[in-house]
Amino acid sequence: MPPRWPRKPDRRDPAYRKLDDRINFAVHVATFAAINSGLWFVHQIKVDSVPWVSKVTLIWLAGLVIHAVYIFAIADYSGPYITDANDAPQEGS
């Protein structure tokens, strides 16, 4: 079941931004795992077909670690969520 958000999604909302960043990180991890497992599978069957697989894995893993450090250590999700007056629902709609 997809996550439900109690109000209109807005990237200015720190809680929503935190959830969105973590979901994006999970997609990044899943994509890394799926593609790299396929590359390593092909590499095990036919070593000469993808000799660059270790370089791709290490570079992508470094990017994944940088993404994780940003999400879990650097990103600042504090601060109030100030709604914009233009975001309010219009009368009669």
Cα–Cα distance, 16 to 4 (Å, whole number)? 11
What's the domain range around 68? 14-77
- For 14, 23, 41, 87, the CA distances from 18, given in Å and listed in that order, are 6, 9, 34, 21
Instruction: Please measure the distance between the N-terminal and C-terminal CA atoms of the chain and give it in whole angstroms.
Output: 29
Is the residue at 34 inside a domain? yes
For residue 18, what is the DSSP state? H
| Confidence (pLDDT) at 47 | 84
Closest CA to 87 of 20, 21, 5, 7: 7
Do the domain assignments include residue 83? Answer: no
pLDDT tens per residue, range 61-84:
999 999 999 999 998 888 777 666
Do the domain assignments include residue 92?
no
> Which residues of the chain have a pLDDT value below 50?
none
For residue 91, the 8-state DSSP code is T
User: Considering the domain boundaries, does residue 60 fall inside one?
Assistant: yes
How many structural domains does the chain have? 1
Q: For residue 93, tell me if it sits in a domain.
A: no
